[in-house]
């Protein structure tokens, strides 16, 4: 088992350099980038006991559509600051391209990246620019793209292969994180190729049982229509109702009567199977429960996901440190909303 040393217990910095156009920037247009995450936050994250942060960023931070291949120094400066702060406080980071030219995971009907060579060239050039800029910076992983949305894996696998080559052409040797299709679903790990690069780390996300982790999520039609409070652990009835209504697979839960640790471990079994077959490192780039759930449920579920990951040497990053409807900290006090949730999230 290859443990992801230095990336076992992290937290996402969602809403800072990614998804900021969806609310945060409008609330504080002049100072969002300088105030949403600061050096004090990185110090606090280190003091909490996390060993890394995952830093999602959207490509408009560094490149405008009307000026492709021209990169904005002001955007890079935000990332440079984070890199510097992480070095100062002894934690690692994952640079995650959350939104790319021609690609946004939350607008699947507008995705053109995988069939447009021009967009692909921009995607590859962005990663070459990062590889050149951070070539001599250690304690960092490159995550090629967040939550791939494609009907099958072929086009993404081909583009990921090209991206690896483009990064290596610069002489950069950072480890590269790559996830599968269906929003990085753990069940799609089996469709991923074993890339011809010893420094590839394979990635999945975990948000099941979705009826609990996303209950009342206003941006999701299924949870809005379901509209129930769901606790964890709890009888499986609510989840089965949700699965029937939304067309989710139900064969996974035969013999189960509860949403509990057995549920979580069964859902994540493909990750254990992947490790057993390939003995390669795995990373869970996102997992978390919405703040609409009660704190006891959030902590219990987080503890069970963390238990699976630590048992199998899988690194992970909680979604999310601040806000984004999944916040770990209280907006006013900056203290964790739950000591039990923090203990679970920082378990190594």
Instruction: Give the residue numbers annotated as catalytic, written as ranges.
Output: 147, 286
Tokens of 62: 């560094």
Q: What distance in Å separates the CA atoms of residue 316 and residue 204, rounded to the nearest whole number?
A: 9
Other C-beta atoms closer than 10 Å to the C-beta of 135 total: 13
Q: What distance in Å separates the CA atoms of residue 3 and residue 278, rounded to the nearest whole number?
A: 13
Q: What distance in Å separates the CA atoms of residue 338 and residue 17, rounded to the nearest whole number?
A: 25
192 in Cβ contact with 178 (< 8 Å): yes
What is the Cα gyration radius of the chain? 19
Quick one: DSSP state of residue 232?
S
Residues facing 24 on adjacent strands: none
Other C-beta atoms closer than 10 Å to the C-beta of 343 total: 16
Which of helix, strand or coil describes residue 315?
strand
Other C-beta atoms closer than 10 Å to the C-beta of 240 total: 17
H/E segment holding residue 340: helix 339-345
């Amino acid at each position: 088992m290859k443990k992801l040393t230095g990336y076992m217990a992290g937290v996402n910095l969602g809403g800072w350099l990614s998804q900021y156009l969806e609310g945060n920037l409008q609330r504080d247009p002049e100072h969002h980038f300088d105030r949403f995450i600061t050096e004090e936050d990185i110090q606090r994250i280190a003091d909490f006991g996390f060993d890394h942060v995952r830093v999602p960023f959207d490509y408009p931070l560094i490149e405008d559509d009307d000026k492709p291949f021209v990169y904005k120094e002001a955007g890079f400066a935000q990332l440079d600051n984070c890199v510097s702060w992480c070095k100062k406080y002894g934690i690692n980071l994952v640079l995650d391209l959350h939104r790319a030219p021609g690609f946004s995971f939350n607008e699947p009907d507008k995705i053109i990246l995988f069939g447009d060579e021009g967009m692909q060239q921009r995607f590859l050039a962005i990663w070459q620019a990062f590889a050149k800029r951070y070539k001599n910076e250690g304690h960092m992983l490159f995550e090629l793209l967040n939550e791939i949305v494609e009907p099958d894996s072929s086009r993404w696998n081909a583009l990921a292969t090209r991206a690896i080559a483009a990064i290596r052409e610069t002489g950069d040797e950072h480890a590269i994180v790559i996830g599968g299709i269906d929003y990085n679903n753990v069940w799609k790990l089996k469709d991923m190729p074993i890339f011809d690069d010893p420094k590839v780390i394979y990635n999945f996300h975990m948000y099941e049982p979705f009826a609990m982790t996303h209950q009342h999520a206003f941006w999701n039609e299924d949870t809005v229509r379901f509209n129930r409070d769901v606790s964890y652990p709890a009888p499986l009835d609510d989840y089965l109702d949700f699965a029937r209504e939304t067309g989710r697979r139900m064969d996974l839960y035969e013999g189960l009567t509860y949403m509990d640790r057995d549920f979580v471990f069964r859902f994540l079994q493909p990750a254990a199977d992947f490790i057993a077959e390939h003995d390669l490192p795995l990373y869970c780039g996102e997992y978390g429960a919405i703040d609409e759930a009660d704190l006891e449920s959030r902590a219990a579920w987080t503890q069970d996901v963390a238990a699976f990951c630590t048992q199998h040497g899988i690194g992970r990053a909680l979604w999310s440190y601040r806000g984004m409807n999944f916040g770990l900290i209280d907006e006013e006090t900056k203290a964790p909303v739950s000591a039990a949730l923090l203990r679970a999230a920082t378990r190594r």
